[in-house]
Amino acid sequence: MGEDFILFLAIVERCDAILEELDLVGYIQLATFHPHYQFEGEEVADPGSYTNRSPYPTVHLLRAVDVSRAVDAHPDTESIPVQNVEKLRTIGRERLYDTLQSLTALRVDATTETKSSNGARVARAKAAAEKAVNGDEIAKTLFETTDVDRAKSQVLRFLNYKPRTRAELRKKLIDDKLYDPAVADEALDHLQRTGVQSDVDYAEQFARMKWRTSKWAPAQIRVELKRRGIDERDAREGLTRVFGDDVNAVGESGGYVRRGTVFEVREEARAAGAESADDDKSYELFLASRKRWALSGGMAPEKRRRRLVGWLQRRGHAMSLIQRIMDSLEAEDERAKYE
């Protein structure tokens, strides 16, 4: 990857395009770093740019589910970059520049050392290969691969493309790659034990994406997870990570509606700065519904209502919740007439 920052930005754009082509935008996020990183609109000498400067040009792939967990766990994520920039400006550009130059020098030394150690490893590997060719049984075992090993490698290639459930991976191994079912199961068991593949993580990641992008109800997410081969226990655990313990009572209410929730009360709590004001998923859904409701302000009332009700129903939300949302939105409109 070139040192030139403009070229680096072009490479980053291509990486973004690849994520879109592979339909991974909801699963992978990019974090970028460069020795000459500069934020748009900032001076070259601004110490704040050092938040994204590094000895190597770097494109860091982040799992969206990990980012979501971090955001959910932190009380004020928006303040983090601001505080980082302020801290670096306090340290000063001269000290930051000297530190980065020192790290860059270490990078050069490490590269030289790595080439040397790589050469030694290659030499040892060649020697072992020659022994194997000459009939050394111990050396030969170093180069033997089993069907299970090959199946594990194939699974890793599948997962490099996009996240998949165990059922999807098993089907591809058996149907597409013609592995014996016992071999496929052994390979998948190993990868699950080592944490490479997890249906619980997949369920969580899928649930977060569907909630953030489309506001699917937990019940509808669960149906889709089941269709993808995830068992009830793993689906429940993944959903609980996103929607909390209320999801264990999934039923007509959709699994997360707290009895007695009144959206006007939630608005008051939010205005008062209560920390829990945004924790209620039903309230999040209300805010999303309010935005869609505002976009249809010029429609006839009945058509407007049908459109929003249909949008909520298609996402699997219960009529009891939908009715409460509609009542609150219509009450807001009524109050607005007299304000």
What is the torsional sign of CA 211, 213, 215, 217? negative
Per the DSSP assignment, residues forming a β-bridge with 62 are: 29
pLDDT at residue 256 is higher than 90? no
pLDDT at residue 316 is higher than 70? yes
Q: What does the pLDDT read at residue 187? A: 92
Question: 3-class DSSP state for residue 32?
Answer: strand
Dist. CA 312–CA 254, nearest whole Å: 12
Residue 85: what are its φ and ψ, rounded to 5°?
-65, -45
Return the minimum-mean-pLDDT range out of 45-54, 265-274, 279-288, 295-304: 265-274
Query: What are the residues whose beta carbons fall under 8 Å from the beta carbon of 108, sequence distance 6 or more?
Result: none
Q: Tell me what the mean pLDDT of segment 35-39 comes to.
A: 84
Per the DSSP assignment, residues forming a β-bridge with 87 are: none
- For residues 257, 263, 266, 267, the Cα torsion angle rounded to the nearest 10 degrees is 150
Q: Nearest-CA neighbor of 165 among 235, 214, 223?
A: 235
CB 318 within 8 A of CB 253: yes
How crowded is residue 283: how many other Cβ atoms within 10 Å of its Cβ?
21
pLDDT at residue 154 is higher than 50? yes
Q: What does the pLDDT read at residue 194? A: 85
pTM of the predicted structure, to 2 decimals: 0.53
pLDDT at residue 335 is higher than 50? yes
Return the minimum-mean-pLDDT range out of 90-94, 116-120, 207-211, 224-228: 116-120
Task: State which amino acid sits at residue 303.
Answer: K
Length of the chain: 339
CB 30 within 8 A of CB 15: yes
Q: Is pLDDT larger for residue 240 or for residue 46? A: 240
What value, to the nearest 5°, has the Cα angle with vertex 30 and ends 27 and 31? Answer: 140
Residue 149: what are its φ and ψ, rounded to 5°?
-60, -45
User: For residue 306, what are its two tokens?
Assistant: 């049908």
Q: Tell me what the mean pLDDT of segment 233-261 comes to.
A: 63
pLDDT at residue 92 is higher than 60? yes
pLDDT at residue 234 is higher than 90? yes
pLDDT at residue 129 is higher than 90? no
Task: State which amino acid sits at residue 158.
Answer: F
Residue 242: what are its φ and ψ, rounded to 5°?
-95, -45
pLDDT at residue 77 is higher than 90? no
Q: Tell me what the mean pLDDT of segment 158-170 comes to.
A: 88
Residue 276's pLDDT band (cuts 50, 70, 90): very low
What value, to the nearest 5°, has the Cα angle with vertex 25 and ends 23 and 31? Answer: 140
Residue 66's pLDDT band (cuts 50, 70, 90): confident
pLDDT at residue 1 is higher than 60? no
CB 132 within 8 A of CB 140: yes
